[in-house]
Structure 1
Amino acid sequence: MKILQTPVRFPPYIGGVESYTHDMSKELVELGHDVTVLCAKAKEESAYREVIDGVEVERLDDIGKVAQTNIMPQFPISVLQHAREADIIHTHIPTPWTADFSALAAKLTGTPLVVTYHNDIVGNDLLDYVASVYNHTALRFTLATADKILITQPDYLESSDHLHRYAEKVEVNSNGVDVDTFRPIDVVDEDVERLGFSNESPNLFFLSVLDDVHEYKGLDVLLEAMSLLVERDGTTPRLVVGGGGELKPEYESLASELGVSEHVHFTGYIPDDDLVTAYNIADLFVLPSLSSDQEGFGLVVLEALACGTPVVTTEVVGVSDEIESNHLGTLADVGCAESLAESISIELTKKDRRGQNGRDLCEKEYSWESSAKELVRIHSNLISG
């Protein structure tokens, strides 16, 4: 098959949709399919055309962003040209510009359209009004045009405000994790210190882009939980916060206000090689996500589990049921710092096979190979049907 992927951005740009599109596309190529990605030239150093892991990547100039979505004047014409040659178009929500014009191109050319619905589109203040207008207009056109709507967890069909009217064409296609990259490794003291972790106390790890779009990841709640842990008897854990963004100074100020600065290290962007090391150093990975509307899956939780690291998260994360049923960590109450602090304390006292169990779960049920094969079945049925 010739598959056209249209995310708004693609690696080296970081983010959940970016990682999903890269890893899924890479696996589709390994299964023998041709994949082209049409996206924004989001970084100055990025080439306009290149091949990444067998995936043809074409990047377009943008004139700025609206709600973290790059606006590319060339995109409507370019996606229409590519659509005429593609067997299938695969686009993504929440990226309106690329998704809506992909839907229009699919309608004009008769090309089957698949939409992976990662999460709802919401905003703050004025952007919330803009998001509401979009959700009742263009989003409905895109979802109505789609031949198949994919969600990464079954609960999202019920929790989303916008999917119920399209339930007959919604199907689950889980995220995967690269179990060859994210795996248990040996770490040395030099790496522990270099990445800001401690050799003297338990280590917690949190990872996200630190901007207003990703506030739902709950870092403010985690910092408040750290302040509660500092007040308790015993050794206070060290928290390493991975990821950069415009809100990083605000989170650093919050840590200072809460009196936990000496226990928290903001390490900024972490390269892929160091990311695997960080997961392996951590005694516990923490993702206290706040919103089921915005947290489509929580891929970083799978990455941690694949590295053999137990987790503390909340029920809004896509693999929360598996975490609970397989005893891979603890689910804290959403938005509750006291519950989060208690969950962290409990998990840090456990010494068992949680790490190996998490690794086994990722290998058996959440490999990219199994997810990609299921996606190929979905694509093939649309093309032949």
Structure 2
Amino acid sequence: MTKILQLGKFYPPFFGGMETVLKDLCRGLAEVPDNEIQVLCAEHSSTPSSKIDGKIKVYRIRNILTLFSQPLMPTYFFHLRKLLKSADVVHLHTPHPLAEFFLYLLKPKCPIVITHHSDIIKQRIVAPLHSIFARKLYARASAIIVPTNNHVTTSRLLPDFIKNIHCIPFGLNTESLIPIENLSINQNIESPYFLFVGRLVGYKGVEVLIKSMLKIEAKYSLKIVGTGPLKSELQSLVLKLGLDDRVKLLGRVDDPVEFSSLYANCLAFVLPSISSNENFGMVQLEAMYYGKPVIATQLRSGVPAVAEPGVSSLLAQVNDPDDLAKVMNQLINSPELTKKMGTAARERYLKMYRLETFISSHSKLYKKLLNEDN
């Protein structure tokens, strides 16, 4: 039996990109024979202190305060020390300063694997202090995983550990997505639309996307799926710009057929993010699953590397509605390019982003490290 301890800030039902990746990884690894998966994370709202998620034991530690996006858990050190005693591999998902610090202090004898989701972006005050012990922990790690090579080239931390880095792209969980062959595809070219899916928060750049529609031919529309604190503000912007007949904020779309059909019938998917807080963008994988071209922005993050620029995606300048409209018009003006990029997007998904590949790559890495350790 191989005991794998996963360390994340939170775990679903808490919603977030890191948490989704962690959940999919744990559930996949739990199906591998002779694996025992444990998760140590912070308690969120009313979630119980411990819970079984299928075959996974999740330990949720009481969080007394969240400071600089870090949950503070007074008993975390003791729970971590106890679980490390029986762990064969410990896998840390960063940034997670509290876990990084305690893992550095405890010096576990088992292999340490780190998935580097992002540098610390917003909390610049704590970044220098964090860097001191993070570098020491990363130097001790048996393997450091990144989902794109851009995560290395745009990081302040990772270039020093290049020899120990493994690129394992995230995998897409398609359980809630309806295969395109089971959907009704709308052939009505009189109502083509661009699609955005995501939380309505500042760094997503939805305001920029709405403004770009002023320079898009009137027969083309924009559908925005998601909710968040900026929904009312964005709705007001749509009305102010006179775009209410062409830009629709749909809110949450929970019905799998409706949600999947929005992807399957769109002209292209747009991710107009304006900050490196967006460091991957799993929604790009959903668009690629449905064979849709991706329009993203030239962020210094992993986002531009998810689809292949010029092959399955086009990139616009960051926070520039005019340039975004220019890129969108490239696809409008060339149906052949749109189709070609969509086909390439689907092929890239199949080659790089299947969940099975993501899980098996981790299993092989764990096995390799354990063999070396023995």
- The TM-score with structure 2 as length reference comes to 0.84
- Residue 31 of structure 2 is aligned to residue 30 of structure 1: yes
Query: Residues 274-285 of structure 1: matches in 2 within 5 Å?
Result: 275-285=259-269
2:8 matched to which residue of 1? 7
Pair 380,205 (structure 1): closer, same or farther in 2 beyond 3 Å: same
**Partner-residue secondary structure (3-state), 1:375:** helix
**Partner-residue secondary structure (3-state), 2:249:** strand
1:208 matched to which residue of 2? 198
**Partner-residue secondary structure (3-state), 1:21:** helix
Counterpart residue identity of residue 205, structure 1 = L
TM-aligned CA deviation for residue 265 of structure 1:
3.5
Quick check: 1:60–1:75 contact (8 Å CA) kept in 2? yes
Residue from 320, 324, 327 that aligns with 1:336: 320
Question: How many residue pairs align between the two structures?
Answer: 363
- Residue 176 of structure 2 is aligned to residue 174 of structure 1: no
2:44 matched to which residue of 1? 42
Q: Give, in whole Å, the separation in 2 of the partners of 1:282 and 1:96.
A: 40
TM-aligned CA deviation for residue 199 of structure 1:
11
TM-aligned CA deviation for residue 258 of structure 1:
4.2
**Partner-residue secondary structure (3-state), 1:129:** coil
Q: Give, in whole Å, the separation in 1 of the partners of 2:252 and 2:70.
A: 20
Counterpart residue identity of residue 226, structure 1 = M
Quick check: 1:201–1:238 contact (8 Å CA) kept in 2? no
Note the alpha carbon deviations across 1:41-76, whole angstroms, 9 max, x for none: 2242x3433333432222222223223333233322
Q: Percent identity over the alignment? A: 28
Q: Give, in whole Å, the separation in 2 of the partners of 1:34 and 1:201.
A: 50
Note the alpha carbon deviations across 1:200-250, whole angstroms, 9 max, x for none: 733332233334xxx433223212213333xxx431412314143x34444
- Residue 295 of structure 2 is aligned to residue 312 of structure 1: yes
1:288 matched to which residue of 2? 272
Q: Give, in whole Å, the separation in 1 of the partners of 2:348 and 2:327.
A: 22
Residue from 139, 156, 159 that aligns with 1:144: 139
TM-aligned CA deviation for residue 303 of structure 1:
1.5
TM-aligned CA deviation for residue 101 of structure 1:
2.9
Counterpart residue identity of residue 208, structure 1 = G
Q: Which moved more, 1:355-364 or 1:338-347?
A: 355-364
2:150 matched to which residue of 1? 155
Counterpart residue identity of residue 159, structure 2 = H
Pair 327,375 (structure 1): closer, same or farther in 2 beyond 3 Å: same
Quick check: 1:242–1:270 contact (8 Å CA) kept in 2? yes
- Residue 215 of structure 2 is aligned to residue 223 of structure 1: no
Query: Residues 49-60 of structure 1: matches in 2 within 5 Å?
Result: 49-60=50-61
2:284 matched to which residue of 1? 301
Pair 361,68 (structure 1): closer, same or farther in 2 beyond 3 Å: same
Q: Give, in whole Å, the separation in 1 of the partners of 2:221 and 2:165.
A: 42
Quick check: 1:284–1:309 contact (8 Å CA) kept in 2? yes
Residue from 221, 237, 247 that aligns with 1:264: 247
Quick check: 1:84–1:111 contact (8 Å CA) kept in 2? no
Pair 51,243 (structure 1): closer, same or farther in 2 beyond 3 Å: farther
Pair 111,171 (structure 1): closer, same or farther in 2 beyond 3 Å: same
Cα RMSD for the two superposed structures: 3.0
**Partner-residue secondary structure (3-state), 1:166:** helix
Counterpart residue identity of residue 204, structure 1 = F
**Partner-residue secondary structure (3-state), 1:239:** strand
Counterpart residue identity of residue 87, structure 1 = D
TM-aligned CA deviation for residue 153 of structure 1:
0.8
TM-aligned CA deviation for residue 160 of structure 1:
0.8
Counterpart residue identity of residue 292, structure 2 = T
TM-aligned CA deviation for residue 104 of structure 1:
3.5
Pair 34,348 (structure 1): closer, same or farther in 2 beyond 3 Å: farther
- The TM-score with structure 1 as length reference comes to 0.82
Pair 167,370 (structure 1): closer, same or farther in 2 beyond 3 Å: same
Q: Give, in whole Å, the separation in 2 of the partners of 1:76 and 1:199.
A: 59
1:379 matched to which residue of 2? 366
Quick check: 2:223–2:250 contact (8 Å CA) kept in 1? no
